[in-house]
Amino acid sequence: MNTLRDAAVFEALQRAMGDDAEIIQVTSRLITFANRLECDLRTAHYRLLDSLLRAAGPDRTLVMPAFTLSYGKSRRYDPIRDKPETGVLVIAAWERDWMRTRRPMMNWVAWGARADEIMAQNQTTALGGDSVAAWLVNQDARAIGVGVTDVHHGWVVVHRAEEICQVPYRYYKKMPGELFIDGQPHGTCEEVLYANPLLANIGHTYAQLTERLSSAGELLNNDDPLFPLRAVQCRRVVDRSIELLEANTLAFVAHRDEARKWLSDLKGQELGELKPEERFDMSEVP
């Protein structure tokens, strides 16, 4: 098996980050390349994190989604003790005391010059106008997908476009719960999702988005097959997504017949079954 050397990883990350971006948003899938790295597989996530930090340098800001989707059932969140559920690279950052936002489900870890600004985002809804995702778009952050090979991969900020376009296959759902800080009760918390249906499996596919970004020359791909890596400006992801959704509101839905059935027969039922504390007033959206 060919070995992926540290120098090659570092140089590819530098190219992906570019020269101008101050903020780098990272998603990762280490399973596609970790066994090729010059290190023990058990420490690959720490090795990659070190490479990311070196490539970013002291003046940039790194940010990664650290979502805890299990909050949907547990309804309790502790940013100190609850492991991120978005992969081992994010866990490595969390273990090294990166700053972490306090929204209980769609939370983020950040390090660097502007991490405080990320922590300050109010996030009325998980991907709304005052969310971390919106801030990344407004700041024209650079998104990089490390180890991403799937053409259906949609980038985190694609869901910002779905909320902007108010796609009909999602609806607002408030999820109140308890906040703990290092095991100690710290009041309440809540997440407001622009949620997927529970009564239908509509699936998602973002192949059209990948094709649109590629054809426009906006998606950078690493040439080295040993190290899958993609990069794009967050703003372009949202702009191109809006174009596709305005042309076809179900552009990102994999099972469109299921979605149409839910919209015609089941959406009213699902909304009607929301508890009073789960209902969200649209006037609260900034």
**Higher pLDDT pick, 286 / 110:** 110
**Residue % of the chain over a pLDDT of 70:** 98
Query: Interior CA angle at 180 toward 128 and 92, to 5°?
Result: 75
| Identity of the residue numbered 194 | Y
- Tens of pLDDT, residue by residue over 222-250, are 888 888 899 999 999 999 999 999 999 99
pLDDT at 285: 64
Q: With bands split at pLDDT 50, 70 and 90, how would you rate the model's confidence at 44? A: confident
pLDDT at 4: 74
pLDDT at 225: 84
pLDDT at 7: 82
Q: With bands split at pLDDT 50, 70 and 90, how would you rate the model's confidence at 150? A: confident
- pLDDT value at 183 more than 70: yes
Neighbours of 217 (CB within 10 A): 7
pLDDT at 36: 80
Q: Are the CB atoms for 250 and 259 separated by under 8 Å?
A: yes
Segment 25-51 mean pLDDT: 84
- pLDDT value at 218 more than 70: yes
**Higher pLDDT pick, 1 / 52:** 52
Q: Among 52-66, 95-109, 151-165, which stretch is predicted with the lowest mean pLDDT?
A: 151-165
Q: Are the CB atoms for 132 and 118 separated by under 8 Å?
A: yes
Segment 114-133 mean pLDDT: 95
Query: Average pLDDT, whole number, for the chain?
Result: 92
Beta pairing class for 229-233 and 142-146: antiparallel
pLDDT at 10: 87
pLDDT at 72: 93
- Tens of pLDDT, residue by residue over 88-120, are 999 999 999 999 998 999 999 999 999 999 999
Segment 205-225 mean pLDDT: 93
